[in-house]
Amino acid sequence: MTLSVHLRHRHGDFTLDVAFDSGPGITALFGRSGAGKTSVINAVSGLLHPDEGRVAVDGDTLLDTARGIDLPPHRRRLGYVFQDARLFPHLDVARNLDFGARYAPPGAKGPARGDVIDLLGLSGLMARAPATLSGGEKQRVAIGRALLSRPAMLLMDEPLASLDAPRKQDILPYLERLRDGPLGLPILYVSHALDEVARLADHLVVIQEGRMRMQGLLYDVLSDPAAVPLLGVREAGAVIAATVVAHADDGLSTLSISAGHLELPGVQAAPGTRLRLRILAQDVILSRDRPAGLSSRNILPVAIAAIHSGDGPGAAIALRAGSDRLLARVTSRAVTDLGLRVGMECFAIFKATTVAPGSIGR
């Protein structure tokens, strides 16, 4: 599946100028408030008619201003999940799901009702009224309703933004299952929360003030030191792939990565499970020599791939760790004092507790 979005639009002083092409899985559109994310999703769904643009899903053209094509929303076969679940308050969960199915185009391929109920863990909720559901449960029903309309693509506009942190952690595994399951449904996922994006996205598009600033595979964008000023120095950090090896009685788990082993707490996955770990750039310390007598359990041999000095006192350092990439943020003074340069081999160190359970995804 491919998603191709090319848009130009003016809202008064605000100009939207965004173009990206992505592959299967979840494409996350990330940006701060007012960056233009909702305008993009509205143009994809047909609620906004851009001045110029082209939107195609898997080769099917939904919009092409040059050719006079602008399908109305109901003919675009898109499932929409909003920040607030927008369930029908007078219908129980089962009937809310039926409503989705009612909009499925005749003959459209899609998941069976029972599979959607299993995937989203809805079987115990079917007779409940929306008012009695938690925020996370409501969102699961809203996702189920959207899936049962058998869409060609799912649009999710800040679907977790109204949930508190624990509810958000409850629902993220369902979204991971949706992404990795047999449906293979493409998802355009809008968020201003980088932790969610790092857990879920396959492809990342970063927009700022209406312009597309970076796009690419999530692992590539998040490990690019040029992304640090865009994403924020406290939030920037690479995602690496790891496999669970074993859990010890003291609560620490061993994970293997291409550059060696990590020891982390709070890993809730069976040995053999593939995970993705987000390691914030600000949590990584560099040492030219292998440190001895250090309490930190995670010391990885790395090579410096790039050094990106910012306007302030910090520098972002791209590191190669086996076949993975890490980012470190250190002071420019440390770069000078340690004589760091591209190609140099050194050691990256981070505390086990810096990788919080919420930063560990599938």
Ligand X SMILES: Nc1ncnc2c1ncn2[C@@H]1O[C@H](COP(=O)(O)OP(=O)(O)OP(=O)(O)O)[C@@H](O)[C@H]1O
Closest C-alpha among 142, 168, 179, 205 to residue 276: 179
Is 225 among the residues that bind ligand X (CB under 6 A)? no
Name the residue nearer to ligand X (CB basis): 139 or 191: 191
CB-based contacts of 74, cutoff 8 Å, min separation 6: none
CB-based contacts of 249, cutoff 8 Å, min separation 6: none
Name the residue nearer to ligand X (CB basis): 11 or 234: 11
Which of 25, 31, 100, 151: binder of ligand X (CB under 6 A)?
31
Choose the binding region for ligand X from 11-19, 127-135, 342-350, 354-362 (rule: CB under 6 A): 11-19
Instruction: Give the number of residues written for the chain.
Output: 362
Sheet strands side by side (includes 26-30): 69-70, 60-64, 52-57, 3-11, 14-22, 211-217, 203-208, 26-30, 187-191, 153-157, 78-81
Residue listed under structure tokens 């690419």: 216
Which of 177, 192, 211, 297: binder of ligand X (CB under 6 A)?
192
Which of 25, 26, 30, 36: binder of ligand X (CB under 6 A)?
36
**Run of H or E including 331:** strand 324-331
Whole-number Å distance between alpha carbons of 318 and 276? 18
Count CB neighbours of 209 within 10 A: 14
Name the residue nearer to ligand X (CB basis): 37 or 179: 37
Is 8 among the residues that bind ligand X (CB under 6 A)? no
Is 33 among the residues that bind ligand X (CB under 6 A)? yes
Contact 359, 278 (CB under 8 A): yes
CB of 3 to ligand X, least distance (A): 18
Whole-number Å distance between alpha carbons of 3 and 19? 11
CB of 214 to ligand X, least distance (A): 16
Name the residue nearer to ligand X (CB basis): 39 or 223: 39
CB of 63 to ligand X, least distance (A): 17
Is 274 among the residues that bind ligand X (CB under 6 A)? no
Choose the binding region for ligand X from 26-34, 64-72, 231-239, 245-253 (rule: CB under 6 A): 26-34
> Which pair of tokens denotes residue 60?
């099917």
Which of 7, 26, 35, 317: binder of ligand X (CB under 6 A)?
35
Q: How many residues bind ligand X (CB under 6 A)?
A: 12
**Run of H or E including 21:** strand 14-22
Is 39 among the residues that bind ligand X (CB under 6 A)? yes
CB of 178 to ligand X, least distance (A): 23
CB of 162 to ligand X, least distance (A): 13
CB of 35 to ligand X, least distance (A): 4
Choose the binding region for ligand X from 7-15, 240-248, 295-303, 331-339 (rule: CB under 6 A): 7-15
Is 37 among the residues that bind ligand X (CB under 6 A)? yes
Is 12 among the residues that bind ligand X (CB under 6 A)? yes
Is 51 among the residues that bind ligand X (CB under 6 A)? no
Is 107 among the residues that bind ligand X (CB under 6 A)? no
Whole-number Å distance between alpha carbons of 271 and 242? 11
Which of 2, 23, 34, 337: binder of ligand X (CB under 6 A)?
34
* Amino acid in position 216: G
Is 38 among the residues that bind ligand X (CB under 6 A)? yes
Closest C-alpha among 70, 72, 30 to residue 52: 70
Tell me the pairing of strands 274-280 and 360-361: antiparallel
Binding site for ligand X (CB under 6 A): 11-12, 14, 31, 33-39, 192
